Amino acid sequence: MAKIVGVVASLHRDGLSSRLVNSALEGARAANAEAALIHLSDYVVPQWSDGNVGKPKELSEAFEGMDGLVLCAPVYYLDVSGLAKDFMDTVKLPDVSGIPGLGISVAGGTGKGLTSALKTIYYWFFCKSIRGIDPLPVSRFNLEAAVGQARASGRKLAELADSGRNPFRDLAERIAYHQALPFMGYEYVDEMALLVRQLLAAPHGKGAVAEARARDLYEKGARLIGEGRKLEAVGPIVEAYEMLYY
């Protein structure tokens, strides 16, 4: 039986990160995995220093025998929370080479930072030689759909974990694998365009006229992005975002 560990890197015990990790672990359990939930708020996770590596010991021990990892971080100023970063820097994991990992970022305010923070998580997976799957960027606008996606990805993670670890052959394969993952090549304007797509599908309450206008602006921006004219795309994409933002 595969062991999946889910980590909530927020100080809110019942917040959005907790909801998303619980959903992923539900999916893992549906695939007959053993699922363990870790709230980092239950521990004192120190900043990295020579003397702090692997602390707290009982937290590092909770990862022993892990076959797959779920990590969800709230977005603070366009990046992962400090708690998530301290966890990444300081906590000692067993050999995780080639195990699957599911990263989730949740930007519960304006939504900005949902992909930049996600990239931090997947860069960390890269450094740890974890095989990241299904990067999941979450805002208030796609939250309900994301909870369902987390469940499906949790199930997939458990199935992959069950079939054994799949270590990377070499650095070139590891880099190519990372670079091919969705969202990893996103710049700021790509992130804003993603938020507009999420808003267009959300109950924004701005009415049909505003929605049609925002859609036109989005399409103009998306065309410019497709042509590599990203700086010119910023104006129409941001205007569409501001029209639908709630």
Ligand X SMILES: Cc1cc2nc3c(=O)[nH]c(=O)nc-3n(C[C@H](O)[C@H](O)[C@H](O)COP(=O)(O)O)c2cc1C
By the criterion CB under 6 A, which residues form the site for ligand X?
10, 12, 15-17, 74-78, 106-113
Smallest distance, ligand X to C-beta of residue 83, A: 10
Are the C-beta atoms of 10 and 42 separated by less than 8 Å? no
Could you tell me whether strands 3-8 and 34-39 are parallel, antiparallel, or unpaired per DSSP bridges? parallel
Residue 41 or 129 having the CB closest to ligand X: 41
Give the residue with the Cβ less far from ligand X, 90 or 116.
116
For the CA atoms of 143, 128, 83, 17, the dihedral, rounded to the nearest 10 degrees, stands at 20
Nearer to ligand X, 17 or 115 (CB): 17
Question: Residue 2 or residue 146: which is nearer to ligand X going by CB?
Answer: 146
- In the bound state with ligand X, the residue whose beta carbon lies nearer, of 39 and 55, is 39
Q: Residue 53 Cβ, how far from ligand X at the closest point, in Å?
A: 26
| Rounded Cα distance, 198 and 208, in Å | 16
Phi, psi of 160 (to 5 degrees): -65, -45
Which residue, among 76, 72, 150, 70, has the nearest Cα to 113 in the 3D structure? 76
Tokens of 104: 């989730």
CB of 126 to ligand X, least distance (A): 23
- Least separation in angstroms between CB 209 and ligand X: 27
- Shortest approach of ligand X to residue 12 CB, angstroms? 4
Backbone Cα Rg of the chain: 19
- Nearer to ligand X (CB atom), residue 115 or residue 153: 115
Tokens of 53: 């590596």
- In the complex, minimum distance from the CB of residue 228 to ligand X, in angstroms, rounded to a whole number: 27
> Could you tell me how far CA 123 lies from the centroid of its own chain?
11
Nearer to ligand X, 99 or 106 (CB): 106
Query: Closest distance between ligand X and the C-beta of residue 220, in Å?
Result: 25
C-alpha to C-alpha distance for 29 and 137, rounded to whole angstroms: 22
Instruction: Please give the angle made by the CA atoms of 55, 134 and 93, to the nearest 5 degrees.
Output: 15
CA distances for 228 relative to 112, 121, 218, 232, angstroms: 22, 26, 15, 9
